[in-house]
A and B are shown apart, each in its own frame.
Chain A
């Protein structure tokens, strides 16, 4: 039976002339913008740590662990466009491998995962345990209205590691958070401009 899916697959297969492809091969489905209305669907896995400057200024005090994760360190920041204007109602997801074991043992619904819609000023915050040397504090995925698909990046607490080494030296600083003392770290994502955040395509 011919279906639209079959058509897509066969056209992808014919373009791959240099290799033998199995009949079930598929081409990855394209991404799309997350749009402005994701909040209710995502609320079960945590929201709101970005909803107020107060939550950020408190360095996480009083914010539920199930929302922003566990760990002694706190990463806070903003999301800005090419003019430096904040991008509110965007979404930051953080994958924190070094937090998985402890959070799984504590019964967290999504161990190692933080999901933080940013607030009206574009601000967000989440917790992490200290990463191993050379490892990022978190693998971060950025979603937002006007971002036509998600983008992957990572935040480091020190300018070292294999991932950073793959980045041109003049752009590495976009991935390194600044210590504010007391375990707090500041990190701003910029989608354009001279300090455009580095995004990765993992292979």
Chain B
């Protein structure tokens, strides 16, 4: 595949004084552009055991239903030509409805939910489509600055079909009042690029009596894929 440069304004800045952890951690040199067939023409292929049945439903892990608003999160994974990225792995993770991760290092004073672990994965289909069932995550405070809160978000990890398509990002919810205050999304200078991280509500994907629907398409880098996605 071919990988064109991404405008700097469409990527998060490596160092942003408003996001304190970046000051000593963000690289100061820009990455070096280099042709590399091993990275742009091949990538990890996961075996059939990578995604067990039910791994896309985050609400089925306990004996009882998890607390919170049940939602569908679905969309398509496309490349920069708009072609579907087929049979590619997506992993997601998130906090529970109260804003607490099951992770041992999360000490936010909010309850754990014994019926929600907050992780799932799936493969895109031949149309690049994916679909998760989960609950809407809560907002939670963090120590970046005084009264800092993360907007509700779901972490996405995508592998694409070649190594250079790897992407880890976050999905936000429409009309979340915290988004304009968030130091993490604001590391991205371009407003349209920030908006690309916000899902949209969909009545078509909403399931009667069961779950609200959100649609979120993701564009991975890369053009000129072969029919095999390479």
Residues of A within 8 A of B (CB): 3-5, 7-8, 11-12, 22-42, 44-45, 81-83, 85, 87, 89, 93, 95, 97, 100, 104, 107-113, 135, 139, 141, 143-152, 163, 166-167, 171, 191-192, 196-203
Bound form: Cα–Cα A167–B32 in Å? 7
Residues of the A chain whose Cβ atoms lie less than 8 Å from the Cβ of B10: 27-28, 30
Q: List 19 A-B contacts (CB under 8 A).
A: A3-B200, A5-B196, A7-B195, A8-B193, A26-B80, A26-B217, A27-B219, A30-B188, A31-B11, A31-B168, A32-B185, A41-B91, A44-B50, A95-B44, A97-B42, A110-B47, A147-B14, A148-B184, A151-B31
How many Å from the CB of B44 to the closest CB on chain A?
A: 4
Given known contacts A27-B193, A112-B44, A192-B28, A148 and B34 CB-to-CB distance under 8 angstroms: no
Contact (A26, B101) CB under 8 Å given A147-B26, A202-B36: no
Is the beta-carbon distance between B192 and A198 smaller than 8 angstroms? Answer: no
Question: How long is the Cα–Cα vector from A158 to B35 in the complex, in angstroms?
Answer: 20
Would A4 and B195 count as touching, CB distance under 8 A? yes
Minimum Cβ distance to chain B for residue A63 (Å): 20
Task: Tell me how far the C-beta of B102 lies from the nearest C-beta in chain A, rounded to whole angstroms.
Answer: 6
Contacting residues, chain B, for A24 (C-beta < 8 A):
78, 81-83
Give Cα A36 to B120, complex, Å.
Answer: 17
B138 is an interface residue with CB less than 8 A from chain A: no
* CB-based nearest B residue for A136: B38
Asked if A148 contacts B164 (CB within 8 A), the reply is: no
What are the 5 tightest A-B residue pairs by CB atom distance, in nearest-first order?
Answer: A24-B82, A146-B21, A41-B93, A41-B119, A148-B12
**Nearest B-chain residue to A149, judged by Cβ:** B12
A33 to B30, CA, bound (A): 17
How distant is the Cα of A5 from the Cα of B192 in the complex, in angstroms? Answer: 9
In the complex, the answer to whether A28 meets B118 with C-beta atoms within 8 Å is: no
In this assembly, does B109 line the interface, its C-beta being within 8 Å of a C-beta of chain A?
no
The B contact surface, by secondary structure, is loop
Residues of B within 8 A of A149 (CB): 11-12, 168
User: In the assembled complex, which residues on chain A have CB atoms less than 8 Å from the CB atom of B164?
Assistant: 152, 202
Given A8-B196, A82-B24, A139-B39, A37-B166 contact (CB < 8 Å): no
Residue contact A143 to B200, C-beta cutoff 8 Å: no
Partner of A110, one of B24, B44, B92: B44
A-facing residues in B67-119 (Cβ within 8 Å)? 78-83, 91-93, 95, 101-103, 105-106, 117-119
A163 to B155, CA, bound (A): 32
Which residues of chain B in 188-222 are interfacial with respect to chain A, using CB atoms and an 8 Å cutoff?
188, 192-198, 200, 215, 217-221
A142 closest partner in B (C-beta): B27
> B2 interface residue, CB < 8 Å from A?
yes
Q: B16 to chain A: which residues have CB within 8 Å? A: 148
Contact present for B35 and A198 (CB under 8 Å): no
B6: interface (CB < 8 Å):
yes
A26, A30, A107: which has the most chain B beta carbons within 10 Å?
A: A30
Whether the pair A139, B38 counts as a contact (CB closer than 8 A) is yes
Choose one: B12, B31, B33, B195; the contact of A8 (CB below 8 Å). B195
Please report the C-alpha to C-alpha distance between residue A37 and residue B29 in the assembled complex, in whole angstroms: 27
B28 contacts which chain A residues (CB < 8 A)? 192, 196
Q: Give the shortest distance, in Å, between A154 (CB) and chain B (any CB).
A: 8
How far is it, in angstroms, between the C-alpha of A27 and the C-alpha of B40 when the chains are bound?
18
Q: Does B181 contact A (CB under 8 A)?
A: no
Chain A residues, Cβ within 8 Å of B25: 81-82, 87, 144-147, 191-192
From A110, A147, A150, A199, contact of B29 by CB (8 A): A199
CA distance A140 to B92 in the complex (A): 21
Contacts of A197 in B (CB 8 A): 27
Cross-chain contact A35 with B155 (CB below 8 angstroms): yes
Say which residue of A30, A113, A143 sits within 8 Å of B11 (CB atoms).
A30
A199/B31 in contact, CB under 8 A: yes
